Amino acid sequence: MPPRTSAGTGGRVFHVMNRAVHGQLLFNGPEDYVEFLEIVARVREKVPMRILAYCLMPNHWHFVLWPEEDWQLSKFLQRMTTSHAKRLRWRTGTVGRGAVYQGRYKAVPVDGDESFLWVVRYVERNPIRAGLVTHRAAWQFSSAASREAWRLSTAAWPTDRPRNWAEWVDEDESQPRLDALRNRISLSLPLRDEPPPLAKPVRGLNDDAAVIEARGDADIDQAVADTQPAGSGCAPMARDVMTAPVADSTAASGPLSASVAPRADPGPAP
């Protein structure tokens, strides 16, 4: 399989996701989630990567990443997924049983402060939409986790975190905005602060039981046109969504706690 083109990825924020092959789970219990986070932490020691947000779900995961150099994004994700797939097959005694992931990861650029806040909210709300928890901090395997022992350290955001961030993430989403966001992700189009193309929900492909597809070829053409450089700059933040920002936007936890006991046999190393 040819390597992915990475030119121009340095200094740009990306929403990245991948999922298990059809009908399979990536994580069956807390120990599986923690093992994956340990792999990510070890890979990050070898391939520097600014992790801005993440969420692990039973059959897929999301990351919001901000590489500094062009080579980092593809190298980090390749090491992370390969190491995890090998470890999972080794631990479950299924070496040689085929692919763990459904394919290559999907990496979508995120341009603009408003789009960044919306995509991080989208990522951290995954367990709420799936009915696993009722508020973001209750899901222990995301950047919103309340238990620091199971959290990866996250980097400072490229924009200020709003004061009412936790409350806003826990609130129900605007369905049109959610549909539009899913539409651009499904089409692998950059997430920008301009209004996305019209979309409609259909069953079958999205991580939340519905995926959004463009309404006809004309809208797809318009969506592609929307990826061209815009001359007007970023749209202002909606007043009914955000309040004044706080000065400290990091809200970062420490590295994975030493209280996560190492396994006697660590298996294949990343």
Note the pLDDT of residue 127: 96
DSSP for residue 198? P
pTM reported for the whole predicted model: 0.70
In whole angstroms, what is the distance from residue 53 CA to residue 22 CA? Answer: 25
Position 194 scores a pLDDT of 63
Residue pair 167/241 in contact by the 8 Å Cβ criterion: no
**The pLDDT value given to residue 4:** 53
Tell me, yes or no, whether 35 lies in a domain: yes
Helix axes 30-46, 72-92, angle to 10 degrees: 140
Separation of alpha carbons 249 and 252, rounded Å = 9
In order along the chain (270 residues), what is the average pLDDT of each group of 10 residues?
65 95 89 94 97 96 97 96 90 80 91 94 95 93 82 93 93 89 87 57 37 32 38 34 36 37 45
Q: Can you give the pLDDT at residue 192?
A: 84
CATH number at residue 49: 3.30.70.1290
Q: Which two tokens stand for residue 231?
A: 């001359």
Q: Residue 151: inside a domain, yes or no?
A: yes
Which domain does 147 fall in, by range?
A: 13-112+130-171
At 203 the pLDDT is 39
Strands 199-203 and 210-214: antiparallel
According to the model, what pLDDT value does residue 128 have?
95
145 shares its domain with 219 = no
Q: How many C-beta atoms lie closer than 10 Å to residue 239's C-beta?
A: 7
**Residue 92 confidence (pLDDT):** 78
Spatial separation of the C-alpha atoms in residues 186 and 68, rounded to whole Å: 25
